[in-house]
Amino acid sequence: MFVDRAEITVISGKGGNGAVTFRRDPYVPDGGPDGGDGGNGGSVVVVADKNLRTLMDLKYKRKYQAENGHDGMKRNRYGAKGKDLEIKVPVGTMIIDKETGHLMKDLIEDGDSVVVAKGGRGGKGNVHYKSSIRQAPNFAEAGSPAKERQIILELKLIADVGLLGFPSVGKSTLLSVCTNSKPKIAAYHFTTIDPNLGVVYLHDTSFVMADIAGIIEGASQGAGLGFKFLKHIERTKVLIHVVDISGSEGRDPIEDYDKIIAELEQFDPALLNKPQIVAANKSDIIFDEEKAEEFMAYMKKKGRKVFKISAATGEGVQDLLNEALYEIQHYEEPEEASMTMFDFEADERDDDYKVINAYRDDDGAYVLEGKQLSKIFNSTNFTDSGSIRYLYNYIVKQGGIKLLKEMGLKEGDTVRIEDFEFEYSED
């Protein structure tokens, strides 16, 4: 089963907490703090793997979480770092942040990777808080929380040549003749419902050919296989229109060709700038010679290079492949339009990380909020006066008390940080 889109939730590992410990060595009276730092949490990393072809595994498992960092230990020993979690996806997978819709990274080479959820930093042990006036700090820093993100993975096949054409025009047969691919082939419409890939070996070189699922009129608006077909054309270098000129099924080859061109233009006009070759297939069983010649003349008028072929017998296929290889070798990548990239590491360098915000809630309590404030608050030992003083001094230093007073804070008013409420006093 070919799956080219999946939505998953990724959660990094939480940073380990710093340790609150003191030396208890023999013959060393009043030993100082020796609490080690917590280990960093593991990150979630998405990696492109050339051995994968589909996102099927990610379609059924929706949640991925890296390992938490371990807490620090006594004797200044660091907690172990949480293991990173690798998620392998096929080459050509785009990683999109669901909340913003912005692209995080396009994994177009084998081994390309992106960190989609960075592990939390480990907290500092109490040894870091010793000073001349604080000889025995009874608190340490909590580890940074895990990061959770929903991402969309969207696969667009990477192929040099894409085969276009209505159902049952012979694309799958042509692919099987040109490559070692063995697509399902039968004499009914919509045989191919998934893209098939194969490698063409030609003149001491090779290129990848893709038979994309059959197109119908209205595909650019999502009809039939719709976008599932069209989006896989975007990465190809050369397009081969496979058209049935035999008249065996009563189709009009000119009408078929024009409809496909119209669908490409409506989906993305830039697709029409790609090199295009026309394969006039089933030339060995032509029922209407006049209509076949009319089609050849029409292609000449359009300036298209057209090759009469028979995918069933192999007639003309070699010349078609030679032309495709020529176009690949002379292909020039177009300049890509600028794309908004999601800055997924913004939290790590947020200029507002230490900023404290304040507001008054419906109950009249004054509320303080801030990323660094939350981290220090969660590290506070409320049974230790030194730890509480450290929290208060941080709030004062960052202007939190001044901000509250400007909002009307008076002695006896309630101040809340997260779920903790206390009464403000000037003493």
Q: Is residue 101 domain-shared with residue 211, that is, in the same domain? A: no
Check pLDDT > 80 for residue 261. yes
For residue 135, the domain's CATH number is: 2.70.210.12
Q: Compute the average pLDDT of residues 296-323.
A: 92
Residue 11 pLDDT: 97
Q: Is residue 85 domain-shared with residue 122, that is, in the same domain? A: yes
- Give the percent of the chain with pLDDT over 70: 85
Q: Is residue 176 domain-shared with residue 317, that is, in the same domain? A: yes
pLDDT tens-digit map of 216-256:
544 344 443 444 556 677 788 899 999 999 877 777 889 98
**Enclosing domain of residue 170:** 161-329
Q: What is the rounded average pLDDT for all residues in the chain?
A: 83
Residue 223 pLDDT: 40
Q: Is residue 246 domain-shared with residue 167, that is, in the same domain? A: yes
> Does 144 fall in a domain?
yes
> Does 360 fall in a domain?
yes
Q: Is residue 307 domain-shared with residue 186, that is, in the same domain? A: yes
Residue 36 pLDDT: 94
Task: Out of 155, 181, 216, pick the residue that ends a domain.
Answer: 155
> Does 340 fall in a domain?
no
pLDDT tens-digit map of 79-129:
999 999 999 998 889 899 888 888 888 898 899 999 999 999 999 999 988
Q: Is residue 308 domain-shared with residue 367, that is, in the same domain? A: no
For residue 215, the domain's CATH number is: 3.40.50.300
Q: Compute the average pLDDT of residues 17-22.
A: 92
Domain count, the chain: 3
Q: Compute the average pLDDT of residues 346-366.
A: 74
> Does 165 fall in a domain?
yes
> Does 16 fall in a domain?
yes
Task: Out of 155, 175, 195, pick the residue that ends a domain.
Answer: 155
Task: Out of 106, 134, 155, pick the residue that ends a domain.
Answer: 155
Print the SS3 string covering the chain: CCCCEEEEEEECCCCCCCCCCECCCCCCCCCCECCCCCCCCCCEEEEEECCCCCCHHHHHCCEEECCCCCCCECCCECCCCCCCEEEEEECCEEEEECCCCCEEEEECCCCCEEEEECCCCCCCCHHHHCCCCCCCCCCCCCCCCCCEEEEEEEECCCCCEEEECCCCCCHHHHHHHHCCCCCCCCCCCCCCCCCEEEEEEECCEEEEEEECCCCCCCHHHCCCCHHHHHHHHCCCCEEEEEEECCCCCCCCHHHHHHHHHHHHHHHCHHHHHCCEEEEEECHHHCCCHHHHHHHHHHHHHHCCEEEECECCCCECHHHHHHHHHHHHHCCCCCCCCCCCECCCCHHHHCCCCCCCEEEECCCCCEEEECHHHHHHHHHCCCCCHHHHHHHHHHHHHCCHHHHHHHCCCCCCCEEEECCEEEECCCC
> Does 255 fall in a domain?
yes
For residue 365, the domain's CATH number is: 3.30.300.350
Residue 376 pLDDT: 86
Q: Is residue 26 domain-shared with residue 99, that is, in the same domain? A: yes
> Does 369 fall in a domain?
yes
Q: Compute the average pLDDT of residues 248-275.
A: 85
Confidence of residue 346 (pLDDT cuts 50, 70, 90): low
Q: Is residue 111 domain-shared with residue 12, that is, in the same domain? A: yes
Confidence of residue 1 (pLDDT cuts 50, 70, 90): very low
Check pLDDT > 80 for residue 4. no
Confidence of residue 214 (pLDDT cuts 50, 70, 90): low
Q: Compute the average pLDDT of residues 368-381.
A: 85
